[in-house]
Amino acid sequence: RTRQFSEDDIANFVGKIAGKNLTASTTLAKCRLISTYEDMISGLVERINFAQSEILLASRFTNELIINAMIRKANAGLDVKIVADTDLVKQFINSARDKLQVVDEHSLERVNVAGNPWYAAGDMERRYTHIPFSFMTLDGKEAGLEFVDAHNPGRFNTCLLVEDETICKELRTRFNALWGIASGNLTELLQTLTNNKAKI
């Protein structure tokens, strides 16, 4: 706290105790805890705008600002992948259920428009499965991680923004696991949800 030692001095000292060659960048991650949904959105959009190569998003929520920022990056040639929560799709369909009548050959198209928040999302790859918590990685260097409120899991609680490649690597592993079990066939999912009104 006295600033007598630099971050590298401290990391070097800790490294000697641990028997490892460490630097400040490997021991002291830059973190920011965000407690409001609005601040989380603005923080993620800002980071998305600076992404250079890759964005991975696993999400229980959706927001037009984030979607639009990701579409721009996908259209600019970045590798952008999304695993969306199936409950999110159900939520969109429930909000428009009075308009969703499967009565003609254009019904499924209307369901797609109403039920898919990423319907016109350009070159982004999208799949759908159950998401236990939302997270995002950007260029393998920065991450956003949702803390779920166990008493009210459907409501946004807190988000951690962190610059740490090790955390990003762990989240990439989790993302790849979700991607592997997720369905890329939204048409089939929507058909299942709309065939039986009792399910909607």
As a residue count, the chain comes to: 200
Backbone angles phi and psi of 142, in degrees to 5: -120, 150
d(CA 76, CA 140): 18
In tens digits, the chain (200 residues) has pLDDT values of: 566 777 677 666 665 655 555 454 444 558 888 989 999 999 999 999 999 999 999 998 878 888 889 888 988 999 999 998 888 777 766 655 555 555 555 555 555 554 555 555 566 788 888 999 999 999 999 999 999 888 888 888 899 999 989 999 999 999 999 999 988 766 666 666 555 444 43
DSSP calls for 69-107: HHHHHHHTT-EEEEEEEHHHHHHHHHHTGGG----STTH
Pairwise CA distance, residues 20 & 65, whole Å: 43
Which residues have C-beta within 8 Å of that of residue 178, sequence separation ≥ 6? 58, 83, 127, 129, 131
